[in-house]
Amino acid sequence: MRTEDKESRRLHITGVVQGVGFRPFVYRLAVERGLTGWVLNGERGVDVHVEGNSEQLDDFTEAIRARPPPAARIASFEITADAIDGFDSFEIRESERAHAPTVRVCADLPVCDACLRELFDPHDRRYKYPYMNCTDCGPRYSIVRALPYDRAQTTMRDWPMCDACRREYEDPLDRRFHAQPVACSQCGPSYVLEREGDRIRGGEAIADAAQLLCRGAIVAIKGLGGYHLACDAHNATAVRALRERKYRKERPFALMVRDTVRAKEIVHVDARAEEWLHSPARPIVLLRQRVALAGVAPESDEFGVMTAYAPVHHLLFDAGAPPVLVMTSANRSSEPIAYRDDDARNSLASIADAMLVGEREIARRVDDSVVSSIGVIRHSRGHAPQAVATLPVSSPILATGADLKNAIALVVNGQAFLSQHIGDLEHLDAFGSFKKTIDDFCELYDVDVAETLIAHDAHPQYRSSAYAMELGEHGCSVQHHRAHIASVLAEREAFEPTVLGFAFDGTGYGEDGTIWGGEIFAGNLSDGFERIAHLRPALLPGGDAAAQFPVQAAAGFLFCHPELSQMSGLFTKTPFAFPVRYRDALELLKKNVRVFTTTSMGRLFDTVAALLGFTRGITFEGQAAMWVEHLARCSARVAPYPFPFQGGELDYCPLLSQIVADRTAGRDVREIARAFHGAIVRGVLAAVEAFDFEHVVISGGVFQNALLVEELAVALGDRLWTNRLIPSNDGGICIGQATIAAFTPNR
Ligand code: ZN
Ligand code: ZN
Ligand code: FE
């Protein structure tokens, strides 16, 4: 090519573009087209200098845009003319990294199609090798011990590469160029089946595990971010045994199938669900059942389904494992997921018949992500530690979240990174993960916590708040429900609009010291949010502990009802048959001992659940509300109960009297549940009408109820703003805390 025909361009690409194979991808495109120049990871994305004729350059930039690596997400793409330097080749340059790059480690990735082909190619040297990966796939966040992200700093450091692997690792044209966890059966880790004192290593281990599953055994299987407990979902005896051994009475089990084709056999999969099932996070997707599987999801019309994402899963199915596997996080009851081999051996000894132990260590636990038809419910594997929002703030902010469903957030250069699901901080182990995740994030994003603004919940007894205050003096206390509203605004980058916000959840510390949970706010991020209305206050005997027992909440709500409180004896008889706990709660109310004031919408759902027959204790958070939603879904639309909005209060008394009357008269409980859902929608719409704001924000755990959200969306259209990628439950609250802190003056 004559020099005078040459042009030179500079590309600057931002987004999730580091640690996802972007540089070798650019390199290959350049080399294929005979272009010269360089590519490097810059401070804020990928920088490219490229020289060639204009046609080739157009083709090159178009190819980058059109087919970026699967895990990459391009946020911006700038092209400028540059001076010609006369390079005679194209090279990958060392990173120019002074401080605080915006993306350092990407989330864990499912095995890619190219690797899958090799996995099942008998002529490939990695045939059936369970730790197969490449630049486009495999573990990332779950194997990083320290930065920078290269092999010596990952859990692969103990497995020196063989010559063949090293050649691939060092060849810029190879699809395993700088794939840090690259390995093969000659040099890398494998799987070991441990059973009754025996250890089998290699391909046989996986084949034997598959056979055990077919015979009804419970097998602990190490995945990317922790252990699962697996069994044949069609084997009711195995499923029941798993429930008994795990002390998990009713909470639904997640399922794993090989691919979306299999998923469609057991659940209804629409286009959006299919996208989720196949997305890089490979989350558990909640979908409507097509078949019955005894004991998998009692009293629910949905299954949580994910598709195989690690090579070991594909190998299990290939080896004849049952086509639908229960794949539930390996732990006892509600403890965090086990991820260390020794811990797993100890804690799962009484649960699993065998353990399929992977020899690659997991650096940190990363549970499966969960999504529903309305959005992300649990942001974890495949999502963490990615940014979920961009905030207009330059100094760093750490937000420590809430104590239930904890997750933390770190804002760096305006990017709000959301951690994996950490869990309930009352568990010592989860609290340990919480502290470690804060340390991890500060290290990953090069932030000095001593100089960071730290946002936390206003609850004085939350561990997450106490720890935030220990960490530093730059604290910002954020009221729980305002943080829920702000999480939606952050996600939409709606930093200016004044909105009407509904924060409905089970519990949160209110600024008057009472238990809030049915709150209506007006305001914006700069001026703050004023609580302008709320659920009519009720009493709650036993306080937050009442969340375990719907009848306890019912005692409090019915006690506050002018007429129903006179009929308290009615509720111990049919059809209500409230157990003795209800009478004990009434005693507390009458003596005014351990009685708290609440505006919790979650407890109103519990009250209705109790009236409709859910009179036992719950075995997992949100169970009673989910049960009422399930009932309502089984009914056609019916006329809603009244839920009048007056004097700044949503009054639940009329709907409770009607429910009591209808139930006594023998009306179908599914219809009652449906009419109750209609009432909630009606109440929200009445408040919307009373205040007349353009934008309506809803957030909080109650709005994981898809029936409510769908009906509100129909009524309000584009005016309704909800969470999509940030959980509306307390798992997303750290983002709201950080957002409010970012707008708090004089911070
Ligand atoms: Zn791959
Ligand atoms: Zn090797
Ligand atoms: Fe909440």
Q: Work out the mean pLDDT of the chain and round it to a whole number.
A: 94
Instruction: Decide if pLDDT at 516 tops 70.
Output: yes
**Topology match between the domains 191-358 and 534-721:** no
CB hemisphere CA count around 623 (13 angstroms): 21
- When pLDDT is averaged across residues 442-456 and rounded to a whole number, the result is 92
Instruction: Name the fold adopted by 3-92.
Output: Alpha-Beta Plaits (3.30.70)
State the DSSP string of 518-529: EEEEEEETTTEE
User: Is 31:15 a contact under the CB 8 Å cutoff?
Assistant: no
First to last CA, the chain: 58
Beta bridge partner(s), residue 499: 523, 695
CA–centroid distance, 223 to ligand 2, in Å, is 21
SS3 410: strand
DSSP class of residue 494 equals -
Name the CATH architecture for the domain at 191-358: Alpha-Beta Complex (3.90)
Instruction: Decide if pLDDT at 3 tops 70.
Output: no
Q: Which pLDDT score, from 0 to 100, does residue 746 have?
A: 56
pLDDT (tens digit per residue) in 578-617: 999 999 999 999 999 999 999 999 999 999 999 999 999 9
Instruction: Decide if pLDDT at 173 tops 80.
Output: yes
| b/e 48-86 (16+ beta carbons within 10 angstroms → b) | bbbbbbeebbeebbebbeeebbebbbbeebebeebeeee
CA–centroid distance, 182 to ligand 2, in Å, is 7
CA–centroid distance, 508 to ligand 3, in Å, is 6
Q: Which pLDDT score, from 0 to 100, does residue 100 have?
A: 45
Instruction: Decide if pLDDT at 331 tops 90.
Output: no
pLDDT (tens digit per residue) in 183-208: 999 999 999 999 999 999 998 999 99
Instruction: Decide if pLDDT at 465 tops 60.
Output: yes
CA–centroid distance, 592 to ligand 1, in Å, is 63
pLDDT (tens digit per residue) in 263-294: 999 999 999 999 999 999 999 999 999 999 99
Q: Which pLDDT score, from 0 to 100, does residue 533 have?
A: 98
- In the chain, DSSP finds a helix count (H) and a strand count (E) of 21, 31
pTM of the model: 0.93
CA–centroid distance, 338 to ligand 2, in Å, is 28
CA–centroid distance, 118 to ligand 2, in Å, is 14
CB hemisphere CA count around 729 (13 angstroms): 26
Instruction: Decide if pLDDT at 7 tops 70.
Output: yes
CA–centroid distance, 161 to ligand 2, in Å, is 5
For the chain, the domains span: 3-92, 191-358, 534-721
> Which ligand ends up closest to the CA of 139?
1
CB hemisphere CA count around 127 (13 angstroms): 5
**Separation between Cα atoms, residue 736 and residue 739, nearest integer Å:** 5
Instruction: Decide if pLDDT at 747 tops 60.
Output: no
Q: Please provide residue 729's backbone torsions phi and psi, each rounded to the nearest 5 degrees.
A: -85, -170
Instruction: Decide if pLDDT at 73 tops 90.
Output: no
Residues with CB under 5 A from ligand 1 (ion): 112, 115, 134, 136-137
How remote is the C-alpha of 15 from its chain's centroid?
A: 21
Instruction: Name the fold adopted by 534-721.
Output: Nucleotidyltransferase; domain 5 (3.30.420)
Q: Which pLDDT score, from 0 to 100, does residue 178 have?
A: 86
> Which ligand ends up closest to the CA of 160?
2
Residue with tokens 């005078």: 4
CA–centroid distance, 146 to ligand 2, in Å, is 23
Q: Which pLDDT score, from 0 to 100, does residue 482 have?
A: 98
- When pLDDT is averaged across residues 696-723 and rounded to a whole number, the result is 97
Give which of 425, 432, 302 is closest to 733, Cα–Cα: 425
Q: Which pLDDT score, from 0 to 100, does residue 65 have?
A: 92
| pLDDT-based confidence at residue 4 (cuts at 50, 70, 90) | low
User: Is 55:200 a contact under the CB 8 Å cutoff?
Assistant: no
| pLDDT-based confidence at residue 469 (cuts at 50, 70, 90) | very high
Residue with tokens 């994402």: 309
Q: Which tops the pLDDT comparison, 632 or 450?
A: 632
**Separation between Cα atoms, residue 189 and residue 361, nearest integer Å:** 9
Q: Which pLDDT score, from 0 to 100, does residue 602 have?
A: 98
CA–centroid distance, 236 to ligand 2, in Å, is 42
| pLDDT-based confidence at residue 24 (cuts at 50, 70, 90) | confident
Instruction: Decide if pLDDT at 342 tops 80.
Output: yes
SS (H, E, C) 557-618: HHHCCCCHHHHHHHHHCCCCCCCHHHHHHHHHHHHCCCEEEECCHHHHHHHHHHHHCCCCCC
pLDDT (tens digit per residue) in 675-691: 999 999 999 999 999 99
| pLDDT-based confidence at residue 97 (cuts at 50, 70, 90) | low
Instruction: Decide if pLDDT at 258 tops 50.
Output: yes
> Which ligand ends up closest to the CA of 133?
1
CA–centroid distance, 360 to ligand 2, in Å, is 14
Question: What percentage of the chain exceeds 90 in pLDDT?
Answer: 85
Instruction: Decide if pLDDT at 99 tops 90.
Output: no
Lowest mean pLDDT among 106-110, 237-241, 298-302, 473-477: 473-477
